[in-house]
Amino acid sequence: MNRRCSVILAISTCFVGCLGISANSDANAEDAQSDFRSVLEIAELGADRLAEFSGESDYTTEDWQLIVQLLFRLGQYSTDQLNNWTKPWSDESNLKIGNLYEVLGEVISTEVLSLPDEVTQLQTQPKIFRCQVRNETHGGTLIVLTSQLPKPWAERDLSSGEPVRYRGVLLKAQNGEAPSVTVLLTKRLAWFPQQGVPTGQILLARQGMDVALLDEVIHRKPFVEPSISREGEAFYACLAAVKKVDSQQLASLAQENVAAVAKKWSKLQEPLSKQLQALKQKASTATDEKNRKVLEDQVKSVGRRLAVAHAVAERSKLGVSSVAPLFIQPEQETGELVRLEGIARRAVRIAGTDRSELEEYYELEVFPPDSQDLPVVCCTTSLPAGFPVGDEIRVPVRVSGVFFKSWQYRSRELAETSGETKRQRRLYTPIVVTSMPIWLTDTKQDSYLGVWAGAAFLVVLAVLWISMAKLGQRDREARNACRQPDVLDLKSSQTSGDDIPEIKT
């Protein structure tokens, strides 16, 4: 891996920028205000304007214009500024329209509201979500309007009963008269799932991490600027959450998850095999060139998934995770607990940023036996006593942690391109946020090397078997019928620099 392109520099830049102060010309004056009501006064959204919000279930055009204006204002301030103005939710009789409140609750239901045409013509916000949320502090149901829901809610129908936290502007307070409702407006809901998501996400939520931040992760890209995504903030939140987990507990949970993941993939092997054979048959008989190309692409895709299933099964027999899913389908693996063994070839200390609660952490490049000489970047807040640090080490380790992102980096190898210009290849590698790695002892190392030796022996046997098969007079069709699934080639998914466009920020 290119040592000059450390993942940490990218993360730190994004995180600090994400929490930077607003560029608004009135920022200094607004910072001096004691509450958000005063800030809104400066923006000409005072008490009289807020009092115009009807609170009816069918919002007027004026209601929508106010909602859009307030969402825009909320997006202009840093997390630190908003924290200074946020007040705890207390006795409802003391609540003031226009102030920011932090509320804990449980989602009862959600619905999508479309903005009227006269509003959407001038705004980029196409829809708003209206949620009924049970107030955890004082009971009762609140109406919460938000511009963003956690992505898995739509994908897996998870909204009902989900624990959330949000910082909302109070638009309407319950007053005992019809309509007797309390309405708050927020840009997003912080989410703390208890089921229905990968085990690692549940673990992070138990440590107080907003799992909805994982929606900000952009795979197969460098860490991006905060104007594009909050993934830098998500990374630091993940690192802080994993730090709170007892190392032995994390290792135990990761080991249990190895078996659970292997069981999931094993159920897919037979249907994937049947699907692969059917696609191969269709591709071999297709007469239309375009249709045959589509079928061949499907054969490759299903073949890769079947190869991943085999890789997961084989590595699980050794009690460790396969890296294949992290390379092949990172979007589906975000927040998954993994347990890896390999050789750490690099370990460097990274100083925490001014905006981070962490003083330091470490970046390790670990090479598991099945990574095909591609690194897995493991980020941890601590190392074992005496663990060597540097760019050229060779230490056998075992790590347990949460898969975070497929990160794009530049290798030291030059891409083969036409013309005179030579460019570094852009490659992908998984980033795993871990607890303290286990430094394998000499005995463990001998055992570990024994696995390598065993694997090498199997390779020799495979070569001999192939040689004997070539010497035999077997029928070609019989050989094809006995073929194993396509060999998984992680490096085949790696691309040169010309294949991936730069993110413009």
Predicted confidence (pLDDT) per residue in 119-131, tens digit: 876 566 678 999 9
| pLDDT band, residue 298 (cuts 50/70/90) | very high
pLDDT higher than 70, residue 457: no
Please answer whether residues 64 and 53 qualify as being in contact, where contact means their C-beta atoms are separated by less than 8 angstroms: no
Label residue 327 exposed, middle or buried (CB < 10 Å: 0-12, 13-18, 19+).
buried
Rounded CA separation 335/405 (Å): 9
Please answer whether residues 11 and 225 qualify as being in contact, where contact means their C-beta atoms are separated by less than 8 angstroms: no
Rounded CA separation 308/302 (Å): 10
pLDDT digits (tens, 9 = 90+) for 43-76: 899 999 999 998 888 899 899 999 999 999 998 9
Label residue 375 exposed, middle or buried (CB < 10 Å: 0-12, 13-18, 19+).
buried
pLDDT attached to residue 19: 42
**Amino acid letter, residue 5:** C
pTM, two decimals, is: 0.81
Q: Does residue 88 have a cis peptide bond before it, meaning omega lies within 30 degrees of 0?
A: no
pLDDT attached to residue 116: 85
What would the two tokens of residue 201 be?
């996400």
Residues 6+ away with beta carbon under 8 Å from 425: 410, 411, 413, 414, 415, 494, 495, 496, 497
What is the DSSP-derived secondary structure letter of residue 221?
A: B
Q: Where are the domains of the chain?
A: 33-191, 248-440+474-498
DSSP SS3 for 41: helix
CATH number for the domain running over 248-440+474-498: 2.40.50.140
pLDDT attached to residue 134: 92
Highest mean pLDDT among 93-107, 217-231, 255-269: 255-269
DSSP SS3 for 290: helix
At how many degrees (to 10) do helices 7-18 and 231-244 cross? 110
Task: Return the half-sphere exposure (C-beta side, CA atoms, 13 A cut-off) of residue 223.
Answer: 25
pLDDT digits (tens, 9 = 90+) for 490-501: 876 665 443 333
| pLDDT band, residue 456 (cuts 50/70/90) | very low
Mean pLDDT of 363-384: 96
pLDDT attached to residue 117: 81
User: What is the secondary structure of 442-495 as a DSSP string?
Assistant: HHHHHHHHHHHHHHHHHHHHHHHHHHHHHHS---HHHHHHTPPPPPP-GGGG-B
Same fold, 33-191 and 248-440+474-498: yes
Rounded CA separation 34/98 (Å): 13
pLDDT attached to residue 476: 39
Mean pLDDT of 11-37: 53
pLDDT digits (tens, 9 = 90+) for 155-179: 776 667 899 999 999 999 876 555 5
Q: Which CATH number fits domain 33-191: 2.40.50.140, 2.10.260.10, 3.30.70.360, 2.120.10.70?
A: 2.40.50.140
pLDDT attached to residue 7: 54
Better-predicted residue by pLDDT, 33 or 420: 33
Better-predicted residue by pLDDT, 118 or 468: 118
| pLDDT band, residue 423 (cuts 50/70/90) | low
pLDDT attached to residue 505: 31
At how many degrees (to 10) do helices 247-285 and 199-206 cross? 150
pLDDT higher than 50, residue 431: yes
Residue found by looking up tokens 């830049």 in the block:
13
Mean pLDDT of 479-484: 36
Rounded CA separation 377/364 (Å): 6
pLDDT higher than 50, residue 478: no
Rounded CA separation 156/191 (Å): 15
Rounded CA separation 273/481 (Å): 12
pLDDT attached to residue 269: 95
Give the total residue count for the chain: 505
Residues 6+ away with beta carbon under 8 Å from 412: 1, 2, 424
| pLDDT band, residue 94 (cuts 50/70/90) | confident
Rounded CA separation 150/104 (Å): 16
Please answer whether residues 363 and 408 qualify as being in contact, where contact means their C-beta atoms are separated by less than 8 angstroms: no
Mean pLDDT across the chain: 82
Rounded CA separation 291/299 (Å): 12
| pLDDT band, residue 107 (cuts 50/70/90) | very high
pLDDT digits (tens, 9 = 90+) for 198-232: 999 999 999 999 999 999 999 999 998 888 899 99
**Amino acid letter, residue 284:** S
Task: Return the half-sphere exposure (C-beta side, CA atoms, 13 A cut-off) of residue 72.
Answer: 13
Rounded CA separation 40/185 (Å): 14
**Amino acid letter, residue 270:** E
